[in-house]
């Protein structure tokens, strides 16, 4: 079954404590990306990757890091989380090139206190 898997699904953490949200896809997709979803703002892209070792900033990259060492994995790293990073995070993947269906993970609810 085609899947994008994110972990953890729910997390409460404290300001400044580094955390990583993992994302894995089983469809051999080249393109992967991270979004955050906030009320009234819709989904905003954080980072994306078009292939292994190729990553680029989206619209809201500040405070986040990513890596793409393997094709299937695209972890999102918050080095020093702050309360304004409390949000619902989605990982997504697709084949490279325009006009392909995007597959989303089920989301990770992150609260930073």
Q: Does 69 interact with other proteins (rule: CB under 8 A)?
A: no
Q: Does 107 interact with other proteins (rule: CB under 8 A)?
A: yes
Nearest Cα neighbor of 23 from 84, 95, 107, 113 is 107
Q: Does 64 interact with other proteins (rule: CB under 8 A)?
A: no
* Residues 30 to 49 in contact with other proteins, rule: CB under 8 A: 31, 33, 35, 40-45, 48
Q: Does 104 interact with other proteins (rule: CB under 8 A)?
A: yes
Q: Does 96 interact with other proteins (rule: CB under 8 A)?
A: yes
Task: Count other C-beta atoms under 10 Å from residue 13's C-beta.
Answer: 16
Q: Which of left, alpha, beta for 27 (phi over 0: left; psi -120 to 50: alpha)? A: alpha
Structure tokens given for 89: 């995070």
3-state secondary structure of 66: strand
Residues of this chain that bind other proteins (CB under 8 A) = 4, 31, 33, 35, 40-45, 48, 50, 58-59, 90, 92, 94, 96-107
């Amino acid at each position: 079954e085609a899947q994008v898997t994110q972990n953890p699904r729910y997390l409460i953490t404290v300001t400044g404590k580094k955390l990583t949200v993992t994302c894995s896809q089983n469809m051999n997709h080249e393109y992967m990306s991270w979004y955050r979803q906030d009320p009234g703002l819709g989904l905003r892209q954080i980072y994306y990757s078009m292939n292994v070792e190729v990553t680029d900033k989206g619209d809201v990259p500040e405070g986040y890091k990513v890596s793409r060492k393997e094709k299937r994995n695209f972890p999102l790293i918050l080095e020093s989380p702050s309360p304004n990073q409390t949000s619902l995070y989605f990982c997504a993947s697709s084949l490279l090139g325009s006009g392909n269906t995007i597959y989303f993970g089920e989301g990770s609810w992150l609260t930073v206190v």
